[in-house]
Amino acid sequence: MAAWERDAAAYRRARLRRAELGIPYGQHKRQTIDLFHADADDERRPLLIFIHGGYWRSLEPSMFSHFAGGANARGYPVAVLGYRLCPEVTLAEIVGDVRAAALFLHRRMGKRLAACGHSAGGHLTAALVGTEWRAFGADVPAHLIRHGLTISGVFDLEPLLSTSINADLRLDAEAARAMSPALWPAPKGVLLEALVGGEESSEFLRQSHLIVDRWAAGGASTLFSALPGANHFTAPNPLADPGSGIVDGLVKLLEAAAKV
């Protein structure tokens, strides 16, 4: 985490002229967006949303600025989202925050959107991909976010009920099921790629397999990949490298989003 903070700060310094930091999308101090423009921004290219982890109760978006590096270098702008945390708010309210941020970005920039997130951010990415966007207004396209890449995500929250984490999440069985994207009706016509570190626990592997299998059975396009040698904290690091395989896959995802 110290390395993330160091590398993120260095990236912000290097990108000052191509960044807009702390854009508010709500009234709370954590409801902000750090927007990193690509070097040669093409208006036809989608905007990538990145959502950080921290089990919905910790960490700051400023720790992850450098994860915009790979997509920026390949010509895509990246918005690093902040959101309110548990226990100040509920998990349902956090999902509301990232949806509000996506709507704000759509209305501000008029771009197609795709999403990427790590850990709890993987959960929130799946929530965005699985959202019925028509419900949010006549000006909101049904395909607002239909492409997502998750890294070491958590998609079935019921196993958290008996852990110490739930002291902050305050979930009961009903709320856990309602906030578990793997248990939602599979959204048809979406593309979700779930990556997980090959050295992670069996539960993280199960979580990604679960959403990929359940959504595919319901008509979504899904892909599961284990990253050899990666653990929970090293798995997202290749997002900073424009030549990494993860960024290659991310570019293909963004290219697909541009065609919707």
CATH number of the structural domain spanning residue 11: 3.40.50.1820
User: Count of domains in the chain?
Assistant: 1
Q: In Å, how far are 161, 171, 181, 232 from 175, measured between CA atoms?
A: 10, 6, 12, 26
What is the residue range of 83's domain?
2-258
Q: How confident is the model at residue 21 (pLDDT cuts 50, 70, 90)?
A: very high
- Residue 247's pLDDT is 98
The answer to whether residue 41 scores a pLDDT higher than 80 is no
Quote the DSSP letter at residue 82: P
- In three-state secondary structure terms, 78 is strand
Residue 132 to residue 128: CA distance in whole angstroms: 9
Q: What is the pLDDT of residues 214-253, one digit of tens each?
A: 999 999 999 999 999 999 999 999 999 999 999 999 999 9
Please say whether the beta carbons of 255 and 221 come within 8 A.
Answer: no
